[in-house]
């Protein structure tokens, strides 16, 4: 029987750590997918649309707002209701700090209008006022 060398022992420890990290990563992403599905279903059942705010790679953002739920007014179609949402999943609980950050996000929300006009050419778009991308 061969004795385990120090190198083999260290490699085994490293492999076990890698497995734990990958399994945790997998659980977190599975919980995130389940939370998104549940929110989509809930919004659809109650007449809301939902948009998830993600980075270019599909990864969640680092900010407090993970999604926006929206619906047009029933009596007045020019009215819109919005909800800023932080999505929680798995064993993650809500903290008082997160509630405070979300309330602050609502209070500091900036809303402006924009008209996007196209002449049918895919490369031509006029914005009125042309302030998209400005602060």
**pLDDT tens digits, 54-104:** 878 777 777 899 999 999 988 898 999 999 999 887 777 889 999 999 999
pLDDT per residue as tens digits for the range 25-65: 788 778 888 889 999 999 999 999 999 998 787 777 778 99
- Parent domain of 13: 6-109
Q: Which two tokens stand for residue 61?
A: 């953002």
Is there a domain that residue 81 lies in?
yes
Is 11 inside any structural domain?
Answer: yes
The tally of domains found in the chain comes to 1
- Residue 121, domain member (yes or no): no
Q: Give a yes or no: residue 128 inside a domain.
A: no
Note if the pTM is more than 0.85: no
Q: How high does pLDDT run on average in the chain?
A: 85
Give the integer Cα–Cα distance in Å for 122 and 135. Answer: 26
């Amino acid at each position: 029987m061969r004795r385990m060398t120090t190198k083999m022992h260290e490699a085994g420890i490293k492999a076990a750590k890698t497995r734990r990290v990958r399994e945790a990563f997998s659980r977190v992403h599975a919980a995130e997918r389940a939370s998104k599905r549940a929110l989509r279903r809930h919004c659809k059942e109650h007449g809301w649309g939902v948009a998830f705010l993600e980075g270019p790679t599909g990864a969640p953002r680092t900010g407090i707002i993970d999604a926006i739920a929206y619906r047009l007014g029933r009596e007045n179609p020019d009215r819109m209701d919005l909800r800023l949402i932080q999505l929680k999943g798995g064993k993650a609980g809500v903290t008082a700090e997160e509630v405070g950050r979300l309330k602050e996000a609502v209070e500091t929300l900036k809303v402006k209008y924009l008209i996007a006009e196209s002449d049918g050419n895919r490369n031509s778009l006029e914005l009125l006022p042309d302030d998209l991308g400005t602060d």
